[in-house]
Every structure is written in C-alpha cells, then in structure tokens.
Structure 1
Amino acid sequence: MHFTKALKKISITILYNRKGEQKMKKKMILSIVFIALACFLVACGQSEDDSKTQSAENKKPLKMWVGLNQAGVYRELAKEFEEKNGVAVKVIEVEEADDALLKDADAAADVIRLPHDQLGQLVESGSVYENEKYADQVTKENIPMAIQASSYKDKLYGYPASTDAMFLYYDKRVYNEQDLRTLDSLTKKGKVGLNLAEAGADYRLTPWFIANGALLYGEDGEDVTDTTLNNEQGLNVLKWVGNARKNPNIVALNADEISALQDGKISALFSGVWNAQNVEKILGKNMGTVVYPKANFGDGEINLKAFSGVPIFVVNAATKNPSKAMDLAEFVTNKEAQLKVFKEINTVPSNKEARESETVQSDPLAKTVTEATTPEHSVLMPKLPEMKNFWPNMNALLVDSYEGVVKVDQMQQKLDKLVRDVSKPAK
C-alpha cells in the first residue's frame, strides 16, 4: 500500500512540476528517497512478522503417540529433544494409533509410532507427511528392509524405529544343532508348537508360501495384480498343511503355547520377542533361539521365512509444525535413540550401526532377531490396504485345510478362489 502511494507521487511530480529542471530534480530525488524508505520499512516489518510467526510455531508443544508400555523411554527421549531444541513434547500411549489418525487427523498427534503395514492406507488417505527433510540420512543409516517398510510407491514417509520377526524357541536339552537344521528333523526329534488351527495361522504360514516361490502382491508387496499363491509351489505348501494333522509331533496351538511348553506338551515353538520372558521363566538356561529351519515341500530345499515387521514413526499431515515434527521423528529413531529403546524395551534396532554394536550382538535373543530380519530369513509384510481383506480369507483356507474340511483334490480350486478374492486383475 505504501509502495503504491509512492509510485503515484512520482507520477504527479513528473507531470505537474515543469517550472524548472532544478525543482523537478529535487522533487524526484525526494520521492525516490521516500520510496526507498517505505520499501525498507515494509520489508523490515514483514521480516519481523515472519520471524515472530516462525518463532511461535517452533515453541508450540508437539504431541507424540507411542504404543502401550512404551511411554517411559520415549518420554526420556522427548526430554532430551526439548533440551536441545527448545520445543516441548507430550508423549501419550495409544493402542490403535492408525485408526485414530484416520478418524480425526486434526486431533491426532504430530508424530506417531505405528506398524509399517498400516502405511499404505495412511498414504492413500493423505494422512501422513512425506519424509522430505531426512530422507537421505534415514536411507543411509537403516537396513534396506526398514527403508522398504517406511516407503510407499517409491516415496519415503516413515522413520524406522526397530525391526522384528518370528523365530524358533527350543529346549536345549532336547535339540542339538543338527536337529534344528530342517523342519523335518525338528519335528522328528521333538514336539513343535505351531498355530495351524486358529486365528493367526495366516500370519505364521503365509511367508512359507512366499519362501517356496509364491507371491503375495508382487516381489515388493505393492502390486495388487500379482499374487501367485495358487501356483504349484503354493499348492505344495497347502498340501503340507493338510498333512500336518497326521504328524503327532506337530502340535496346533496359539494362545496356549506357553502353557503347552510349561506342561511339557511341546519342546519348541515358533513365536516372537513378546514371549521371551515367559519362555525364559520355563526353560531358564536351557532356552535356545534360532532362525527358522530349512524345509522341502517338494520343490527343493528352501529357508523357511517369517513375516518381518518394522515399527515406524510418521508425521501427521495435519501437523501445524511439520519441520519440527520431522526433527522429532528423526531424533527418536536415530542410532542413539534406537539403542536406548533397545535397552529399555528390547526392540531390536533397524539402524545399521546399532544392530552391529556390542550392546545388541552380545544379547543372544537380539542377535537371533537381527539374523531373522534379513531377506534370507524373513519377508516384509505387505502394506497395501488390501491386506485387511487378505487376512480372513487366507486364515480360513489354512485352518480348513489343516482340519480336513478342504480335501487335497479341492486345494487348487480353493487357492484359485483365494487369489481372485484378494487381488485385482491386471489391466
């Protein structure tokens, strides 16, 4: 506004002050000086306002959601962040963070910890901010599997916090190293607990299909038109499931796996870190852990695989301070933070240096998980929204096959139907 008035004054001076060159020059000089002064004042005013606005944004408290029983260690990290950045952080435990974010992004936290397999749905709904500020750093510092988990359609959104995958617990008094080499030798030597007949069979056995040469949503888990669970390799795994009921050394269980171990009904079980304390209480110094064994379903020997999961932090797309939110997400997932969280709640780091540190490698359980969360021993759980439809369909087929409801001569037909139900035809 001041700038427009100044320009008008120049025009008036040039048009109406022709009484003498000297007088016109004086007025023009004065007008130009006025313009320069006005512009300087306007610019200074804007710069000062912008600075105040930016400062105010940086001082606003950030909210961070974490999972149950995780607030303690993340509050310690939040305090460190506040001391270094001058921004307060409020840490809150939330059980279903992804659902809460989808329902009301404005009420959700600025930074949120959640399972990586929820990322696809959140990106599709526009709920998360792309990792614009730390993409190169995060990619360089974390293992490829964690970067794949934090990305969707070739864009990095997440900040990986740790890695996880199932493995085998076993009683050292029953098994020796050779017994653990293959699924066949494992089940011949002792009784093995495996969920085949309840909800959760899908999570445990789908990776066996993939390990044997079938695909679930393509090589990278992001192609909804490329599912081949109904190929010959997939069929052979389903046949194994159907025959497992005849093997007295394969014990179908799920929630009762710890009581079964305590009662001596099993001497090994496929499980995860969430059961570490329970298993150790029962087996004590005789507790052993190892990655999944090899198996041969009729297509040659392969490494059995588990699903790997990567807890990630994301920045809420509705945050009022994305820059500081990204700073916080990076801070609570860097090498030092991951090691601190590992010491407190035993989550195995995704950071390359942290994984190879003496702190992690000297822990037998953590060492097993670092080996399990490699492409040789696990496959990243797909993060497409379509997975919500896949789980119940796959679980029903596995349970019915184990129970004998689905006969061998029906398995191909059932697998074909599964693929039609959970995927989309290629265009």
Structure 2
Amino acid sequence: MKKKLISVLLSGMMAASMLTGCGNESQEVKQIDDQTTAESANASTEKSESSASEDAIANLIAATTDPVDLTLWCSETESYQKVMAELVENFKAQYPDVEFNITIGAESEANCKDDVLADVESAGDLFVFPDDQLLDLVNAGALQSVEATYTYDPAQTNAAATVEAASVDGKLYAYPMTASNGYFLFYNKNYLSEDDVKSWDSLLAAANEQGKTVGMEVSGAWFMYGFFAGAGLEMKLGDDGKNICNWNATDTKYTGASVAQSISDICKNPAMKNCVNEDAQAFALNGEMIADVNGTWATNAFVEAYGDGYAATKLPTFTVDGEQVQMGSFAGYKFIGVNAYSKNPGWAMLLAEFLTSEESQTKIALATGEGPSNIVAASSEEIANAPALAALSEQSEYADLQRVGDNYWAPAATLGQSLVEGNYTDIQQLLDDAVAGITQ
C-alpha cells in the first residue's frame, strides 16, 4: 500500500507539471517520465524496506550474546522429521555468527493444542498445528502474534484463505505452512478403473471381484463427517461456542437415519475395512488394499505400495434412498505457531518465517506430499501436477473448513464405531444419543 501511494502521488505531481504541454509527442514523453519516476520510487521504497529488514536481523544478531536455544515441535512422521532437520541446518548456515541449539521434537499435530496448553512455558518455542486449534491457543495466550516480520510478509505471500484462517479479529497469529489438511481417495489403477472409483457401490464391487479390500476410518469422527455433510446435514460451531448438529433430522431431504443406514451398509460389505492410517498403509503395501480414504500425509506410502498404479481422486458418491450423493469432507490448513512464552521470541519468529518461506514450503511439499499455502510454491508445475494434490483440489468443492467444538469428537466416534459394528437396535435412537452428546 505504501509503494502504491508513493507511485500515485508522484504520477499526479508529474501530470500537474506537464499540463502546459501539448501534442502526442509531449504526451508520450510525459507518460514515459511518469512511469520512470514511479518505478524509481517503487525501487527506492523496496530498497528502503529491504534495508529495514536487514537492519532488524542485524540488530537481532548484535543483541545475541548467548547460544540461542529453540525447540521445534512437528509431526512425528519420518518425512516431516527429516525435512525439518534439513531446513533447520539451512537456517543455521544463514547465520554463522550465532550459536544455535535447535531441538526438533516429535509431536502429533492432533494433540498439539492439548500438549501446549498443558504447560505453555515448557512447550516448544515453535510448533506445527492444524487450523482448528488456533482459537483455543489464542484465547489461552499461547501464541505470539505476527506483528513484526524480518524477511517477508506472510499475509502477502500465502493464499488469502490460509491467512484468514490463521487470524483472529484481523490479527495474524500463526505462519501458514500447508493448505492440504483434508482427505480424498488413493487407489491402484492396475485394479480399479476411473469408473470403479466414482461410487462406493462400484468401488466395493470391483474390490470384491478381485478378492481385495478398500479402507476408510469410518469410526473416526473426522472422516465420518463426510457422509452426513455430503447429504446436506449440518455440523458446525455456533457463535456461542456450542456445536450445532442435526444428524438426527427426520424432516430433511435425506434423513439422518437414511444416511446412517447407508454408512452401516457400506461397512457390512466384506471388501470394506474400517482402519486407521497406519493399518491402511500396511494393507496397501502387502497388496491387500487397493483403495483407501486418506490424506496427503500418506502419499509416500501409497506411491510405494501402488507403484505405476498409483492414482488419487475425489471421494466417491454413496447411495442414500436409492440416489447417489457426493461425499463431503473437512478441509483445513497447518500453521507454525510461535510460543508467546519463548525465551528467544525474535529468533523463534525468524525461524518460523524461514520454515514457511516459498522455498521451505516447496521442500516440505515434495518431502511429505502436503500442499503449500504459499501462492508461488502451490502454483509450481511440479506440485500442482501431483495426483494427491489434484485429488484434494477436486474434493475441495465439497469440503468444509473444520470448525467444531471439543464435544464433537467422542460422541461422533462412538456413533461411527456403532455403525461399523452394527451395534444398535434403533438407528434413530443411536443418532439422537450422538447428537445429544455432540451438542451438550
């Protein structure tokens, strides 16, 4: 905005000074002078801003006399641990005059908020967490707001949706890192055609014919959401902080009982396996499982398991009351947060910037299969053409940003497990109990 204002003002001044000129030649000279002056102003402003950034880093280095101790918490997966270790070494190499002791801890993203809030002062200086944990972390005063930047402005380099999700009341509280926290269908095209994977009916039929299986963590509240959401039923967080849920509705186009029955029918199919991520990957590697509902974090495992048959697509449709209904899903992002209680906040923020820069996000994406939030990195041909990210993009049309209260997870998981096992006598009562727990 500052650059644009200077450019406009200079252009206006030049125009005023040239009012006495006439003819096309004079006008052309004026326009060239306007452009040159504005470009010079922009270049001068950029140089000034660059110098300010360099000065801020120089001041940080000058103020550092002791070794800088930092702890980074990130996913326990091998791919994350490896790429973060590489990036941390690159960061240290940029500042050879500073002694760093940077420890990388293995922290489940799903549990990050709870582990941070259990003892904020002892938590990591930086930590990777999903976007739905942001508000609780902000309300607890655990996050350092991003009010100062050193090398670039995260609000300008990342997709607007990720910046909005990382902000509260217009203030940025975390550094966007990925824009791929959702789920879709991995499949082996050596066994399944594009038509096979369009619906659960055809998918399971094809798997049965070949003596193979298909996986999904139906008993997982995160995944099961997709069935009810696809059928137009509601589950969201209200303004009062309580969950709003009508999964037991009896007056909607597709009733809650009809959707629940469809889920139960899918789970009764002998080709269907209710399984968690790690088990699905193992089943795929041993050749048993030829398709699985999963996310980008599992990309490397399915690439290895399926080889030249590796493929991915949006979630299948499923049958409700004799009609095909497209599954919905949750969508989300991952951020790096800086602990408000860090003893080295300046260095923690500079490291967070480094780890979420265009170059770093590209390396993280290639190492883990997760899509970057950085606009330039996400548009690169190498990343944009990745099957998993293309599938996620296709599914995004049917995805909702994950915004649910804590009371959602346990009752929804119990509901899912009951539908998987067929452990109920009255499906409407099962739904009524689940909704009562979710909305309490």
What TM-score, normalized by structure 1, do the two folds share? Answer: 0.72
In structure 1, the gaps of 5 or more residues are 1-50
Identity rate of aligned residues, in percent? 25
What is the aligned-residue RMSD (CA, Å)?
Answer: 3.5
Instruction: Answer yes or no: is the 8 Å Cα contact 1:81–1:87 preserved in 2.
Output: no
Q: C-alpha deviations, 1:304-349, integer Å up to 9, x for none?
A: 2333342210111112454443333222112111012223333321
Q: Distance in 2 between matches of 1:331 and 1:241?
A: 44
1:77 aligns with 2:87: yes
Q: Distance in 2 between matches of 1:226 and 1:178?
A: 36
In the other structure, the counterpart of 2:128 is: 113
Please give the secondary structure, in 2, of the residue aligned with 1:65.
strand
Q: C-alpha deviations, 1:369-417, integer Å up to 9, x for none?
A: 4544x3x1433333x5x32x3222111112212322223xx33333233
Q: Which moved more, 1:154-163 or 1:80-89?
A: 80-89
Please give the secondary structure, in 2, of the residue aligned with 1:180.
helix
In the other structure, the counterpart of 1:380 is: 401
In the other structure, the counterpart of 1:17 is: none
In the other structure, the counterpart of 1:339 is: 362
1:104 aligns with 2:119: yes
Correspondence list, 1:43-62, <5 A: 55-56=62-63, 61=68
1:214 aligns with 2:233: yes
In the other structure, the counterpart of 1:351 is: 374
1:204 aligns with 2:223: yes
Please give the secondary structure, in 1, of the residue aligned with 2:269.
coil
Please give the secondary structure, in 2, of the residue aligned with 1:354.
helix
Instruction: Answer yes or no: is the 8 Å Cα contact 1:153–1:222 preserved in 2.
Output: no
* AA in 1 matched with 2:306: L
Change (3 A) 1:60 1:244: same
In the other structure, the counterpart of 1:95 is: 107
Instruction: Answer yes or no: is the 8 Å Cα contact 1:212–1:299 preserved in 2.
Output: no
In the other structure, the counterpart of 2:408 is: 390
Instruction: Answer yes or no: is the 8 Å Cα contact 1:105–1:316 preserved in 2.
Output: yes
Correspondence list, 1:121-132, <5 A: 121-132=136-147
Deviation at 1:268, TM superposition (A): 1.9
Aligned residue pairs: how many?
A: 364
1:186 aligns with 2:203: yes
The structure 2 residue matched to 1:235, chosen from 257, 273, 294, is: 257
Q: C-alpha deviations, 1:123-175, integer Å up to 9, x for none?
A: 232211223336x9434433355335424566432212112322212221332
* AA in 2 matched with 1:106: E
In the other structure, the counterpart of 1:41 is: none
In structure 2, the gaps of 5 or more residues are 1-57
Q: Distance in 2 between matches of 1:423 and 1:150?
A: 26
Q: Distance in 1 between matches of 2:89 and 2:266?
A: 52
Q: C-alpha deviations, 1:350-375, integer Å up to 9, x for none?
A: 22221110221343334334544x3x
What TM-score, normalized by structure 2, do the two folds share? Answer: 0.70
Q: Distance in 2 between matches of 1:178 and 1:240?
A: 20
Please give the secondary structure, in 2, of the residue aligned with 1:325.
helix
Instruction: Answer yes or no: is the 8 Å Cα contact 1:114–1:311 preserved in 2.
Output: yes
Change (3 A) 1:265 1:326: closer
Q: Distance in 2 between matches of 1:371 and 1:239?
A: 27
* AA in 2 matched with 1:184: D
In the other structure, the counterpart of 1:42 is: none
Please give the secondary structure, in 1, of the residue aligned with 2:435.
helix
In the other structure, the counterpart of 1:423 is: 439
Q: Distance in 2 between matches of 1:414 and 1:274?
A: 33
Change (3 A) 1:266 1:396: same
